[in-house]
Amino acid sequence: MPEGASTTVRRNADSSGDPMPDVSPEVFRSALTAEARRRFGDERAEALAPDLETLAADLARVAAAPLPDDTEPGFFLVSE
């Protein structure tokens, strides 16, 4: 099937196979902060808090975005 020709966009994120479809920004922020603490320590994680909050909101929007099942990653956007 040609790319984008006859796909059906899933509106029910729970069934789309998307990673963490219903996760809120708050849950992402908590998970990101825990990962930052593990990698960089408490002090650095605290300094990163504004960036982690922005990133959490971005991750929540990405997770919730409805996509056709057969959309593959873009990577190098060659001749499409």
Q: How big is the CA angle at 6 (ends 2 and 12), to the nearest 5 degrees?
A: 130
CB of 48 to other proteins, least distance (A): 6
Q: Does 62 bind other proteins (CB under 8 A)?
A: yes
Residues in the chain: 80
Q: Which amino acid is located at 5 in the chain?
A: A
CA quadruple 3, 4, 8, 14: dihedral positive or negative? positive
First to last CA, the chain: 15
Residue numbers 12-51 binding other proteins by CB under 8 A: 18-20, 32, 35-36, 39-40, 44, 47-48, 51
CB of 59 to other proteins, least distance (A): 5
Interface contacts to other proteins, rule CB under 8 A: 3-4, 18-20, 32, 35-36, 39-40, 44, 47-48, 51-52, 54-55, 57-59, 61-68, 71-80
